[in-house]
């Protein structure tokens, strides 16, 4: 899903979730699980459908862990994130929401080849278990090497509404 940087895109993520009966593995780099759960409640999405890979909370505040959450301190460790996604999907959370792909692109500690390998692994693994993944990506990151090398793996790209572009 392509989004503008200033767009509040959670409502679009919740629309995807509501259309599915699958449980959600939500990988977050920029919103705390508490915030996501509070927002999801407004859409009548049950909190027990979520399992979080939390790559933000440990960096911004000390917080008690919420149920069904794994905190990742080394957020640039794609191997650890992949391992956790696999384990959580195997627990029955095969709809992966990755918020956001743009966040990992900006880290200099993660090179393009690692990102390409990560994306290919994730698509292949989820395909094998009949899972799905939705990546949030800022529209201006299209053209990045990692994305260009993996665009063929995506079934579709959901673009923001035209009014966000001012056209």
165 pLDDT higher than 50: no
7 pLDDT higher than 60: no
- How many CB atoms neighbour CB 79 within 10 A? 12
- pLDDT reported for residue 2: 53
- pLDDT reported for residue 83: 95
157 pLDDT higher than 70: no
119 pLDDT higher than 90: no
36 Cβ partners below 8 Å, 6+ apart? Answer: 10, 26, 28, 50, 52
- pLDDT reported for residue 68: 92
pLDDT digits (tens, 9 = 90+) for 74-116: 888 899 999 999 999 999 999 999 988 878 877 767 788 888 8
Count H helices and E strands in the chain, helices first: 7, 7
Query: Considering the entire predicted model, what is its pTM?
Result: 0.85
Going from N- to C-terminal start, the domains of the chain cover 2-159
* Residue 69 CA, distance from chain mean position: 14
Range name among 100-104, 128-132, 152-156, 157-161 with the lowest pLDDT average = 157-161
What number is the average pLDDT over the span 24-53? 94
Both tokens of 65, joined, read 């862990």
> For residues 4 and 16, what is the distance between their CA atoms, to the nearest angstrom?
18
Confidence grade of residue 162 (pLDDT, cut at 50, 70, 90): very low
Q: At what angle do helices 33-41 and 10-18 cross, to 10 degrees?
A: 60
- pLDDT reported for residue 126: 93
pLDDT digits (tens, 9 = 90+) for 48-67: 999 999 988 877 776 566 88
Residue bearing the bigger pLDDT, 130 or 159? 130
In CATH, the number for domain 2-159 is 3.40.50.300
> For residues 167 and 157, what is the distance between their CA atoms, to the nearest angstrom?
19
- 104 neighbors 77 (Cβ within 8 angstroms): no
Average pLDDT over the chain reads 82
């Amino acid at each position: 899903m392509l989004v503008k940087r200033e767009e509040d895109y959670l409502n679009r993520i919740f629309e995807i979730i509501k259309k599915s009966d699958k449980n959600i593995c939500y990988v977050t780099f920029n919103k705390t699980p508490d915030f996501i759960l509070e927002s999801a409640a407004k859409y009548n999405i049950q909190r027990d459908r979520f399992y979080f890979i939390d790559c933000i909370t440990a960096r911004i505040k000390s917080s008690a862990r919420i149920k069904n959450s794994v905190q990742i301190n080394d957020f640039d460790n794609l191997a650890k994130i992949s391992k956790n996604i696999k384990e959580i999907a195997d627990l029955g959370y095969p709809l992966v929401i990755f918020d956001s792909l743009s966040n990992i692109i900006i880290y200099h500690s993660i090179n393009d080849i690692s990102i390409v390998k990560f994306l290919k692994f994730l698509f292949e693994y989820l395909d094998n278990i009949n899972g799905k993944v939705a990546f949030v990506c800022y529209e201006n990151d299209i053209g990045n090497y990692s994305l260009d090398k993996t665009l063929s793996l995506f079934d579709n790209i959901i673009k923001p509404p035209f009014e966000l572009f001012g056209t």
